[in-house]
Amino acid sequence: MSQDLLTLFWVMPAVGGLCALLGRQARWPALAFSAATALYGLILLGPASSGAWHSAPVSSPSWAFGIRYLLDCDGLSLSLCWLTAFLTVACVIASWNKDYPPAYWAAFLFLESALLGVFLARDLFLFFVFWEAVLIPMFFIIGLWGMEGRRHAAMKFFLFTFFGSIFLLLGSIALVTRHHAATGVWTWDMAALKGPGGLAGLAIFAAMALGFAVKIPLVPLHTWLPDAHTEAPAAGSVMLAGVLLKMGVYGFLRILWPVFPKLSWELMPWLMLLAGVNVIYGALCAMAQKDLKRLIAYSSVAHLGFCLMGVLSRTPEGLLGGSLQLLNHGITTGALFLMVGFLYERGHRRGLGDYGELYGRAPWLTFFFGVATMSSVGLPGLNGFVGEFMSLIGVARVMPRFVFVGVIGVTLAAAYALPAFQSVFLGPAGKASVSAKVTDLDRRESSLLWALCGAMFAIGIYPAPLLRVLEPFLLGLVPAR
Amino acid sequence: MSALIWAVSGLLFFLGLAAVVLRRQLLAVFLGMELMVVAAALALGHEATRAAAGAEGFVAVLLVLAVAAAEAVVGLTLVLRVHWSGRPAEADSLRELRG
Amino acid sequence: MISLASVLGLWGPAAVLAGGSLAVLAIGLGASDEHRPPAWLMRATAAAAVLLALALGAVSPEAARPPLLRGDLLGSSLQAVFLAAGLPFLFMMDPADEVPPALALGSLIGMAIIAVSGSLLALFIGLELMSVPAYLLVARSRSPRALEAAVKYFFAGGAAAALFLMGMAVHFSAAGSLDLAAAPGRVGEAGLALMVAAALFKLGAVPLHFWLPDVYEASDPELAGFFSTGVKAAAVLLLARLTGISQGPILAVLPWAAALTILFGAAVALRQTRLQRLLAYSSISHAGFMLLAVAAWAGQGRPLSAAGAVFFYAAAYLFMSAGAFLWLKVTGLSERSELKGLARSRPADAAVLGVLLLALAGIPPTAGFVAKFLVFWEGFKAGIYAPLVLAGLGAFLSLGYYLGMVRDMYFDEPEGEAAAAPEAGMTRRCLVSAFAVLALLLGVMPWLVDSLRAGGSR
Amino acid sequence: MIEIPLAVYLLFLAPLAALAVGFFVTRPLKPEWTHIPILASCVVVTCSAASLAGMVYEGRGLDGTLFYWMVAGDWSVPFGVRIDGVGVSVLSMVSLVGALIHVYAAGYMKGEPGFARFFLVFHLFYLSMIGLLVSNNYVQFYLFWELVGVCSYFLIGYWMHKETARRAAMQAFLTLRVADFGLMLAVLVILGLYRNTRFAALYAVAGALPAGLLALLGVLFVWAAAGKSALFPLYFWLPDAMEGPTPVSALMHAATMVTAGIFLLVRSWPFISLVPGLPEFIAVVGAATAIFAALLAASQTDLKRILAYSTVSHLGLMAFGLGLRHVGAGVFHLVTHGFFKAVLFLCAGILAHAAHKSTVTVSEVGGLWRKMPLTFVCFTAAALSLAGFPFTAGFYSKDAILDAAFAHGGWAVAAGLAIAAGSAFYIFRMLFLTFFGSRADQQTMEHPHEAPPVMAVPVAFLALGAIGVGWLGHGLMRMLLSGWPPSVPPPGLTEPSHAVSAAALMAAALGAGAAYWTTMRLPSWDWDWRRERPALAALFAEDLGWRRVPAACVSSAVWFADKVGRVLDHDSWDAAIEGSAGACRRVSEAGGRLATGSISDSLWWVMTGAAALLAWAGYR
């Protein structure tokens, strides 16, 4: 019974997508199904927190080679599913009065169903199928309804991730064959698989980590991110930054840590170095950007660097902080991209110098953007701070000298986010500025942003309940040192 | 004795090969091909006498010659069609399909 | 004693096909020039013969030992594949006279013989019987350069046949018999090398592939579809038979040849402008994957469970490649630039080709992905790691043009007026979309492999 | 669990309620009434602060947890309250001065377009300052520390249309952010090693901390305090922060926010005092800042900028007192400074309000003591207190510091006296230029009028405080003892010997005389030296060249970011990846050319392939 409940969870948006495709007026079924999925997600809280899913009887027959249709849902997966579901509802509402064809709404619902699949799958093969299935809708969202350079950005996005996932596939197969060689059992269950030691283990770990690193993105492999974010439609960037970037870190948490407990601990310093480079490099690139969306894209590179740092430290604070920061970044950057989308709807421009003195014409937009910027800068009292601070505590407990890099990243965050906020919203309106065309948010848009800002404040002021939801799986990853 | 036969067969095979690869006219290439088949048939026939498995070798030679004949029919018609189409039956005249 | 079942199982398909071809010729001869028999009649009889052969093929023969013939599961399953490949070819053929169906049946007979052959001689005869009708079929294609392609195909095929013969002779001298049994010593291996070269030629492996693009480009789309699926499946079977009699040195080269084929095929296909030539090079790349599957299968000591990968790739490729070629025939497009903006002018066609291309690229949840996954899976079990990584990179390169075509269709504006869609019959469109749906479904319901594995381990 | 008195909850709940009511109710409906719930909450906060002060005076300190903020398995960060001597003494000053400035602001900001926005952020600042003073662990301290920084950004940049205000706000925020780097790193290092940052727990284990760690923590705390309390390296944001409205300058940049840095040093005193040489370093930095700022204050023409530099100077003085290990004197001066500096700022505000400008320069005012008597009286009282004349609050607290300087001897004495003289000089120069004899080339204000009561009454109260607070010295010292960490010598307040008082008075009188001589006797001296030596004037305008250093830092950071962002990331690395696609195209075309289309070539390839296979079979 329990597996079918989870199957219903990820199938619901797919069915919605089909309805949207067939119906003439696509946006109403899209809203109905995405809202239903979000509400359904809340119902799963009860069993998820009590870990009821994991003991689910293995009802599904095993296909060849031990591959099985296995779903499970614990705190970490559930919170990421919530993030996906609520951001999808936000995207549907945000692009409500724009005349998109039915395929647009269907693409978002298919994307949501594939993402839910990724977070619920516990079979490595099933995980991989969902992992790749996410690419197709996103490719079409960027490619069909994006900005001017969408063709190139969509191709670059797909090719980058596909390149990574080839190595993920090869690594998974090698892992399963090695596991069979060691234990004589064909299984693809993430919880049961144990990676080999020695050089083979290192090769498998490196291959799978490369697959995930492309998605995080770790710096050398990140050049698809700014293009994809800049060229995607507003709602597309929300989903891209809000959820797709989380799949990489989720992959580390869900697969690499349990399967390679000892090896991942030995490799921690090197990965931490990469995460540190991510933070500093992302912040510096963000400071150099002239386009608002590219700036937020590079800030995502920096924020994901923090998440990875926390997750790498394998301490209770670090793990929980990193995972919480995944959610926080989804909410904060989702809100930022929504607002840039609203701004683009009005002024059709994304440059930093194209606006100015918006506080008079659009006070509510300025207020919400200010709150989101402060949250992204990591102002305590908002959600950004809790996640980043706990991640850095994890780092401090494991590599005290390295926390210096993290704090420099936090300081640099202010150096790129605030000048951008000021030049767009408070600064002088140059002669080429289009601020005249900017009107304030309407009821639909501000209600959306009220929800997101409410979440930012709630998590910032009282994060304990959400941290308790995340705890069950993550505390198991703390190695007994 | 068998070494001599194999030498002759090898020589014939190599000559046919050279013709196939080096010559320009299609007919010459065709002859080279037939030469290679004949060389193989010779070797087969010789080995058939030595082998203990009965008539398998001889049957093989017969069938090979039959198949070579069928091939020749098809090959020559194609070469003639090229000739009739006004192009010299040269390897170089047939270069439109490239890349 | 040879039981009736085994004779039926082994000889049945070839005999029925021969009968069918004679019937077709008879109808053609019988009718005089004024009142020609209806065009579809010939193709219907041919199709009936193929269906009957398929049915007989399903009767799985035990390992009977009549001379020249020996059947096994891989043989009968690949036989089903190339017979199935014949059907769409016959169905989509332009209704001319009785000669093309007869030739097609002739070629199928050759393949059937390879499927059940137990000796090298039978293999040679099957190979030749498969190839010669093919030369004529190419010559009869409508393209202006059909003759040139046919000539190239003939001479290359003839040379390969000569090589095979010489290899057979050398092997015969070492082994003493023409049976498909391992020959002792280095001489036998040398003979085998020549024969494997001929098989690789037929498959289109890289150094020996130069004939393939010209032939596929000049022949009619449905014929090219038949070549890329039927003939290639038979070539795989031929190679599988040959690996049986090798001590090992040849087996070591196969994975590297496969990797080279995949990479070269994908690389060259990137910049092709004519669609049929692009699909030709992509079929070379897929041939590389099939070669890799055979290498992995042979590398593990030819267990039947590993044969699933070879079979499934051939089966999945049948739908994808035949679907793609038949799509060209139905829509009448030939240049890659004509694809630009197709999603707006002809959305249904664009969707069908989109699904086929995603399957060819091997993106989940399509059959192409499951096929590639199985190849990787068997490859890892066989321990050929480096070629697998190269194969993965080849798959990545192939994404360049498969996804490129999808991008052209969906993201670009149509240039110039849309080519007038030929009045292809609705039935043909349904056939092509059926292929696309199958390409999708096979990916989602991999029970097919399960059933084979269960069958194979018996 | 310690029973937490209601007063503590009120400290937080009252402002929160006022903010909620203000934001959701009065702002949309009646923006001009926003200040009413906020003033009410100020009163409640001041009363509860007073009750807590009484509680602590009787020796009943408190350190408890309200709720758990961050939680991870067994580890957690509490959100708690620590009511001890240090906290409450500064809290009572801040709450009282803050409340009065709120009242003043109600009058000063009436009619401003962003009235509601101003009061909401102003009160949020008030709440975060209070939270900072009562928090019981470093993480919560850091929370309010950052919140105060952000509120200062929005308040300094209140008049967004002015370019200078925006630049000042940004400069303030980024400088504070660079300073907070130190505090965050220190807190993380503590958490990394001890997983617990409660003051009580850390004080208990202070002695056992390794020397290296203590040194690092000490330096980081000093770096953070230097930023927030505008000590030498990072002081330049404070004078520019005068772009904000006067109540902001009064509350933030005189009485409360800038003292947060000193408060951090006092809170972390058990660690700093154990680091050999660090207190002396603080003393030197404090003294240098004080003298440097006093010199600059004397050269300014804008009233508020003079007071800004005077604040920098007095913060230096407090640090100087702390550095000389007289924590009591430092805290005492912090409290008294809060009062008299607030009065000075508010009077400057009244002058600006009368001139209907955001700020007034010395040349625009003169001879106002007859037209604005109340302002003159309050200003003079505060000026006397600042200069340290007997019976004023400043006298007691400044002399305590001078006493510490004399006890330390050597350079400290000279520095102490120089500071006393300097501060007397610039404050009396401002007094004479503003209120006495108008200069020949001065443009006097058209019709200066007395401030409305809503502004005058709070100034009067504060002026009384500026005088009377000095007498509470001993009561303050008793309060400081409660909750003082045992490992550190208690903060006593020694009675300054008559010799010290006399010397201080002498220095102050000297300063005042010099001010009188330069402003009244040589009326145009203040303007002449600027015209004759423009280079020197420019040098002073650039804080003796120190302003170029932060400007250089910012431009080099932007240059480096551009190098990394544009050149390294976009032009070279991204181009390389795009280039690889081009390379694939070239390989593909080469492969295509390989197929020449001639039969003999394809046959040649067939034969070579077969030969290769043959060789491979032969070779193995």
- The answer to the question of residue C164 being in a domain is no
How confident is the model at residue C26, as a pLDDT?
84
Q: Are C213 and C277 in contact (CB under 8 A)?
A: yes
Whether pLDDT at C454 is above 50: no
Contact D185 A428 (CB under 8 A): no
Residue C200 counted as domain residue: no
The pLDDT > 70 percentage for chain C reads: 86
Q: Kindly tell me if the per-residue pLDDT of C448 is higher than 50.
A: no
How do residues C273-299 score in pLDDT, each as one tens digit? 999 999 999 999 999 999 999 999 888
Structure confidence at residue A60 (pLDDT)? 43
CB contact under 8 A, A64 and C453: yes
- pLDDT reading at C24 higher than 50: yes
Residue C457 has pLDDT above 50, yes or no: no
* pLDDT higher than threshold 70 for residue D553: yes
Q: In chain C, what residues touch A143 (CB-CB under 8 Å)? A: 407, 410-411
Q: Determine the pLDDT at residue D325.
A: 86
User: What's the rounded Cα separation, in Å, for the pair D280 and D324?
Assistant: 7
Q: Does A468 touch chain D (CB under 8 A)?
A: yes
The predicted pLDDT at position C60 comes to: 54
Residue type, B57: G
| CB–CB contact D596 B17 (8 Å) | no
Any bridge partners for residue D135, and if so which?
D81
- Which residues does D217 contact at the CB level (< 8 Å), separation at least 6? D186, D189, D190, D209, D268, D271
Distance from C-alpha of C224 to C-alpha of C204, rounded to nearest angstrom: 13
Token digits of residue A74:
């614990």
CA–CA separation, D330 and D280 (whole Å):
14
Residue D521 has pLDDT above 70, yes or no: yes
- Mean pLDDT, residues D350-367 taken together: 80
D489 touches chain C (CB under 8 A): no
- Cβ(D467)–Cβ(D392) below 8 Å: yes
Report how far residue D298's alpha carbon sits from residue D431's, in angstroms, rounded to the nearest whole number. Answer: 12
Instruction: Check residue A283 and give its pLDDT.
Output: 93
Q: What's the full length of chain D, in residues?
A: 620
Nearest CA in chain C to A207: C389
- CA distance linking residue D117 with residue D124, whole number of Å: 11
More confident residue, C57 or D610: D610
Q: Residue D62: enclosing H or E segment and its boundaries?
A: strand D62-72
Give φ, ψ of D69 to 5 degrees.
-85, -70
Q: Which C residues 261-280 touch B at CB under 8 Å?
A: 272, 277
B78 touches chain D (CB under 8 A): no
* pLDDT tens readout for residues D123-143: 999 999 999 999 989 999 999
Helix (H, G, I), strand (E, B) or coil at B67: helix
Q: What pLDDT digit, counting tens, does each position of D469-481 carry?
A: 878 777 777 777 7
The arithmetic mean of pLDDT across residues D231-252, rounded, is: 88
Q: Residue A144 in 3-state DSSP?
A: helix
Give the pLDDT band of residue B92 (cuts 50, 70, 90): confident
**What's the pLDDT score for residue C50?**
83
Instruction: State the DSSP H helix or E strand holding residue C9, giving kind and residue range, or none if neither.
Output: helix C4-30
Give me the DSSP letters along B28-44. Answer: HHHHHHHHHHHHHHHHH
Is there a cis peptide before residue D452, judged by omega within 30 degrees of 0? no
Give the per-residue pLDDT at A349. Answer: 85
Q: Is the pLDDT of residue C64 over 50?
A: no
**Is pLDDT above 70 for C179?**
yes
Q: How confident is the model at residue C458 (pLDDT cuts 50, 70, 90)?
A: very low
Closest Cα partner for D541 from D126, D236, D266, D222? D236
Q: Residue C307's pLDDT is what?
A: 81
What is the DSSP annotation of A62-114? Answer: P-GGG----B---HHHHHHHHHHHHHHHHHHHHTTTS---HHHHHHHHHHHHH
What pLDDT score was predicted for residue D402? 87
- Tell which of C263, C369, C380, C451 to mutate to test the A interface (max A CBs under 10 Å): C380
DSSP per position, D500-550: HHHHHHHHHHHHHHHHHIIIIISTTHHHHHHHH-HHHHHHHHTTTTTTHHH
Lowest mean pLDDT among C273-277, D246-250, D353-357: D353-357
- List, in order, residues 6 or more apart from D431 with CB less than 8 Å away: D379, D380, D383, D515
Query: Per-domain residue ranges for chain A?
Result: 1-259, 264-472
User: Computed over its alpha carbons, how large is the radius of gyration of chain D?
Assistant: 30
> What are the φ and ψ backbone dihedral angles of C381, each rounded to 5 degrees?
-65, -30
**Cα Rg for chain C, rounded, in angstroms?**
21
Domain of C326, in residue numbers = 248-458
Looking at the partner chain, which of C154, C170, C177 has a beta carbon nearest the beta carbon of B53?
C177
pLDDT of residue C451: 44
- Position C90 scores a pLDDT of 85
Sign of the four-CA dihedral D200, D204, D207, D213: negative
CB atoms within 10 A of CB D552: 10
Suggest the residue from B13, B14, B17, B21 to mutate for an interface test with chain D (most D CBs closer than 10 A): B21
C183's tokens: 């020959």
Number of domains in chain C: 1
Task: Give the nearest chain C residue to A141 (CA atoms).
Answer: C411
A419: which residues sit within 8 A by CB, 6+ positions away? D170
Kindly determine whether residue C156 and residue D602, on different chains, have CB atoms separated by under 8 Å.
yes
Taking only the tens place, the pLDDT of each residue in C212-242 is 999 999 999 999 999 999 999 999 999 988 8
- Please state the rounded mean pLDDT for residues D139-168: 90
Q: Is residue D68 within a helix (H) or strand (E), and if so which, with residue range? A: strand D62-72
What is the set of domains in chain B, with CATH numbers? 2-84 (1.10.287.3510)
Which residues in B lie closer than 8 A to residue D598 (C-beta atoms)? Answer: 91-92, 94-95
Nearest alpha-carbon partner for A393 in D224, D270, D225, D70: D70
Peptide bond into C414 cis (omega under 30): no
How distant is the Cα of C178 from the closest Cα of chain B, in angstroms? 7
**Residues in chain A with pLDDT values less than 70:** 1-2, 47-64, 481
pLDDT recorded at residue C260:
94
Look at residue C69 in the predicted model and tell me its pLDDT: 55
Predicted pLDDT of residue C66: 47
Burial of A364 from C-beta contacts in 10 A (0-12 / 13-18 / 19+) = middle
pLDDT, tens only, D57-73:
887 878 888 888 888 88
Query: pLDDT by residue (tens digit) across A266-312?
Result: 999 999 999 999 999 999 999 999 899 999 999 999 999 999 999 99
Under 8 Å CB-to-CB from D582, ≥6 apart: which residues?
A: none
Mean pLDDT, residues C333-340:
88
* Range of A51-55, C45-49, C204-208, D438-442 with top mean pLDDT: C204-208
**Residue A101 in tokens:** 């064809």
Q: Are D2 and D62 in contact (CB under 8 A)?
A: yes
Q: Spell out the residues 6+ positions from residue C174 whose beta carbon is closer than 8 angstroms to its own.
A: C183, C184, C185, C187, C188, C191
Of all helices (H) and strands (E), which one includes residue C454?
helix C447-456
What single DSSP character describes residue A69?
Answer: -
**Touching, C vs D (3+ Cβ pairs under 8 A):** yes
Region D319-340: what's the mean pLDDT? Answer: 88
Interface A:B, ≥3 CB–CB pairs < 8 Å: no
Residue type, position C411, single letter = F
**Backbone torsions φ then ψ of A122, nearest 5 degrees:** -120, -5
The neighbour count for residue D192, using CB atoms within 10 Å, is: 21
Task: Quote the pLDDT of residue A56.
Answer: 44
CA dihedral C99, C105, C107, C111 (to 10 degrees): 180
The predicted structure's pLDDT at residue D44: 93
Calculate mean pLDDT across residues D374-384.
89
pTM of the model: 0.89
